[in-house]
Each structure stands twice: as structure tokens, then as C-alpha cells.
Structure 1
Amino acid sequence: MSATQTRTGSCLCEANKFTVKGDPMLFVVCHCMNCKKQTGTAFMSNVMFKEENVDITGCQDVGQYADSNNKSGSTILRHFCNKCGSTMFGKPDETRKTGVVYIPSVLIDGSDAWTPTKEVFAEKKCSFVKELVINSPQ
């Protein structure tokens, strides 16, 4: 994919749509309890983009949860679709602007072309989750 290629994404009910430009800067599999609870699964699979490469103007029916009960102690704004409940995106709160948005990879059309580059909180991995394929950046 070229750095200027645009991909579309949406929640399950497609009430909220967005676009991303280029490839993610990072693809992280997170095993922290908060991500597992947010997704209801064994881990969360997030792609991270610079904020300027994400257009969420099509996300008009999105709720927000300010998650401050996490290992870092910094508040993460977790967004979700108000209609279908899909996890939409997350970013640090206003006090910790990083310019990065994370999005569950499966929401983006064509994301199966990407492979995770990092695994975090592996010590919290569910016992039935075995080794994941991680492409370490060269």
C-alpha cells in the first residue's frame, strides 16, 4: 500500500464511517485487562495512525468512556458506536496529546494485509492464547 492510499472503515452497523491514509505506524496486540473487557475477547488488535491520517468526521453517533483505571495511570478516551456497540477508536485525553489514534484493525477494510508488529502485556495473556505471529520492524 502506498503512503497516500486511503482505506475505509466502519462499525458493525455502518452508522459510523471513517478513513485512514497509508499503513499504520504500529500494529499492536494488547492483552491488558481493560482492552480485553472493552472487546469482550482474549486481546485487542489495534493499528495506530498519526491523527492527521485519520478522518473520523463520518463518526457522528459515537460514545466515549474516559478510562483512567489502567496500568499507565493516564486517561485513555475509548470511543464506541452508540447503535451497535462496536469499539471504534481510542486516544489519550487532552492532557496527554500524542497525535496518535488507535483503531481495532478489523474495522478497516483490507486490514488483513497487515501483521502485528508488537505484543503488549503478554504476561496477562489468556492461557488458551498461544504464540502470535509478530513482524518485528527491521
Structure 2
Amino acid sequence: MTGGKGSCACGKTKYTFSGDPVMTAICHCLDCRKLSSSAFSTALLVPSSNFHFEAGAPVKTVDLKHHIDGIDMTPHFCGNCGSWMCKTADDDRFRGMHIVMAGTLDTEDGQDSKVTAPQAELWTKYRLDWVKPLEVKQCVGFE
């Protein structure tokens, strides 16, 4: 997948990114489960210099408590519908990156067929019992 675009549920907040994602991963951490209202989240790690919000509804951020790993995460939401678009983190491993939620990607065929398959599952110690591991790198935390 080289570059992409995405939008929120109401379509008023849009973004684009260029280049290939550094990584695509599934995250089972408790924050991602809460923010996504799901069993896990799927995200693409994109350099911030390649990621741009377009004009539209204002993007809102929320200051979260420290992540379970002690990292300060800042989720970014559509200011109109509240869709979780991406997050940034104040940590050397993620500084200069946008963690883009894969469910917000807009694909030409309306499916995720061009989205890079996950290369890793993160925070597997929080994976729900009924979610089966993928045949990818399994990480207890971020590493």
C-alpha cells in the first residue's frame, strides 16, 4: 500500500498520507479496546511528515492518562461525529509518527483489500480468549 486517504463516519474530517506505512499492527491494549469500542484496534504507523488532515470538521484531541506502558497518548477524533481517526504519542518509539486507525481508510473498492496485513499483534496479554492469534509477530507490549 503506497499512500492512502481516509475519513470519519460523517465524512467531514479527511486525511491523506503518502508513502508506505512503517508497520501495520493489531493492538489489544486496554486503551485501544476502550477507544475503538471493540476487542482490538488495527492501525498503521505513518510518519507524521507524510500525514495531513484536510480541511473539514475540526479535529479534537483528548489528553489520556498515561498508557499502561507509561506513554502519553493523544487520540485525535472528528469534531463532528467523534470517530477515532488516529493518535500520536510522546515516546521515542512513536515520536514523529501518526498511528492511523485502519477502519478510517477509504479504499477504492469499498473494502480493505489494499490495506497492508498486520505484521504484529501488540499487547497480546490483553487479547480476549476468543480472539485467535494471527501468524505474525506476537508482542507482550509494544515490542
Shorter-chain TM-score category?
0.7 to 0.9
Distance in 1 (alpha carbons) for counterparts of 2:79 and 2:37: 17
Q: What amino acid sits opposite 1:69 in the alignment? A: H
Sequence identity of aligned pairs in percent?
A: 27
What is the count of residue pairs matched by the alignment? 132
Q: What amino acid sits opposite 2:127 in the alignment? A: K
The equivalent position to 1:55 in structure 2, one of 31, 47, 52, is: 52
Structure 2, unaligned runs of 5 or more: 139-143
Task: Give the TM-score, by structure 2 length.
Answer: 0.81
Q: What amino acid sits opposite 1:130 in the alignment? A: K
Q: Given that residues 63 and 79 in structure 1 are in contact (C-alpha distance below 8 angstroms), is that contact kept between their aligned partners in structure 2?
A: yes
- RMSD after superposition: 2.2
Partner of 2:61: 64
Q: What amino acid sits opposite 2:70 in the alignment? A: G
Q: What amino acid sits opposite 2:7 in the alignment? A: S
Residue by residue over 1:49-92, the C-alpha shift from the partner in whole angstroms, topping out at 9 and shown as x without a partner, is: 00111111435422111123321212111111122221011102
Summarize the Cα distance change of 1:123–1:8 in structure 2 as closer, same or farther, 3 Å threshold. Answer: same
The structure where helix makes up a greater share of residues is: 1
Distance in 1 (alpha carbons) for counterparts of 2:127 and 2:18: 31
Task: Give the TM-score, by structure 1 length.
Answer: 0.84
Q: What amino acid sits opposite 1:132 in the alignment? A: L
Structure 1, unaligned runs of 5 or more: none
Q: Given that residues 26 and 122 in structure 2 are in contact (C-alpha distance below 8 angstroms), is that contact kept between their aligned partners in structure 1?
A: yes
